[in-house]
Structure 1
């Protein structure tokens, strides 16, 4: 899983300014679940994408307090991009309250996106239009209205490839 957050200002010492983000959980959950996460998805049933992330560093309280004046929610969105033929699509989006202030120097968030049944087509050997293999990507975005400099926050995480297969 690749995992990137912006801004990314790592600490260079005990009193240096810092703010970083990281996804701590990204998983696909089907019901009934086999193990902790699935890479083969039954396209005929809905499934959940569970996401958790945190923002850390001594700039976190200042940054989140400033953004929370005009922005009340993180927007968490999941996308599917086919590997091979097929069209990319948005799987779903949820708003997650920014909460606070006050904020600490380690703030955690989580979200669940439920993907409806029959959203991702499986491979059809007689139809070369869908591969049934997808790269899933999740973004967590916090908008900024603080002027020309980009104070927006965004995390991006890619899943391993998944295969959509209806068992019947």
Structure 2
């Protein structure tokens, strides 16, 4: 039997606003604790992480405000779409996140959701909020790079 290729560049959901609104200092890869119908919805790409954030409760990392749509053939096995979901991390990673979360101006946000070896993973980032002038500089750099690529193309 042939081995399946792992597509490392694809993801199921991405939080594009996170890198715009926050300066990401550190990233972690975490597993998600999901039910059977939730993982089927995630594999179908029915997940929205734009408004999500991570909190630490009783030594556990919890993914909050992430919408996983109800699975169409799930019937009574479907769960609430916006329920908090536990993240699977090592204790030292949770301690690092907890320490970072206590600092003022720091937020822990989900960046990407993807499948790795059949398991749903979420890339979380520790971000410090950007000021308005920082965002303007990012837009300016992006526009300059786009213009440079246009000129090199022609």
TM-score (norm 1): 0.28
Question: Larger % of strand: which?
Answer: 1
Larger helix proportion of the pair:
2
TM-score of the superposition, structure 2-length normalised?
0.30
